[in-house]
Amino acid sequence: MDVEIKRDGLTLRGTFNKPQSDSFDLVILMHGFTSNRGIEPDQLLYQLADNFEKKGLATIRFDFNGHGTSDGKFEDMTVLNEIGDGKAILDYARNLKGVKHIYLLGHSQGGVVASMLAGYYHEKIDKLALLAPAATLKDDALKGSTQGYTYDPQNIPDTLPIKKGLTLGGFYLRTAQTLPIYEVAKEYHGPVCLIHGLKDTVVNKIASTRYDDVYTNDELHLLDDADHGFGIGNSRREAIDIVTKFIIG
């Protein structure tokens, strides 16, 4: 069913599905940069949620501010306010009747958000799954190269036109340069599943290997034939199977 959640005057819109049972485990899914919660059957988050639901899990997937059908301008989006979005969704999930365990799953930039949210709420999250987490966004901002568009990292423009006719705000880039991604992420000591494709040309595998270095209870899967969206060959099915086994195991 469709759900609406308020965060600082914005309405975040998402999809919540749960089994018929009175108690259940819940997976919160977080999408990547310029994407959405997964509204088409060929999208990664749609397929992940469908797979979890077939296994008897509840799922919430939602659009971050400035994405999909949620309120806000893309130009005003930052990783920091996406963490605020995630906190609002987590609050909603924690107050649902019947929830036993809460799992976070993030893809790409959603993986960065999920990792930091899990660090902040380390005792509330039972498992964490990161698929191609885009923690290199900090490296990119420090170099002055984001999504293939270059700028002076010491003199960041107020706006940066990027793909799909979207304009990225300069505050996104400024805050990205100082994000304590791994410092916060390492506060989470629960089970973590990391999946990264070796043919990912958007986010280098070093993002996941760095997570592997700071986590104390994780498994790292490097898939030979997977790209950033796990869209090559059988890599989508492989990634879904790995993360599903991890969540329900």
Q: Each residue of 83-136: pLDDT tens digit?
A: 999 999 999 999 999 999 999 999 999 999 999 999 999 999 999 999 999 999
Q: Is the pTM of this model over 0.95?
A: yes
Which 8-state DSSP code applies to residue 63?
A: P
Tokens of 141: 């901002």
User: What is the total count of domains within the chain?
Assistant: 1
Compare 162 and 44 and report the one with higher pLDDT.
Answer: 44
pLDDT of residue 104: 98
CATH number of the domain encompassing residue 55 = 3.40.50.1820
User: DSSP letters along 228-245, please?
Assistant: TTS-STTHHHHHHHHHHH
What local confidence, expressed as pLDDT, does residue 46 receive? 97
The answer on pLDDT for 163 being more than 80 is no
Q: What are the pLDDT digits (tens) for 13-55?
A: 999 999 999 999 999 999 999 999 999 999 999 999 999 999 9
* Region of residue 19 (left: phi > 0; alpha: psi -120 to 50; beta: else): beta
Show the domain range for 224.
2-248
Is residue 74 over pLDDT 80?
yes
pLDDT, one tens digit per residue, over 186-229 is 999 999 999 999 999 999 999 999 999 999 999 999 999 999 99
pLDDT at 148: 86
131 forms bridges with which residues in the sheet?
A: 107, 195
Quote the pLDDT of residue 234.
Answer: 95
pLDDT computed for residue 249 by the predictor: 84
Q: For the residues 48-77, what does the mean pLDDT come to? A: 97
Tell me, what's the pLDDT at 136? Answer: 98
Alpha helices for the chain (secondary structure H): 44-54, 79-94, 109-120, 137-143, 170-176, 181-185, 206-214, 235-248
Question: From CA 210, how far away is CA 206, in angstroms rounded?
Answer: 6
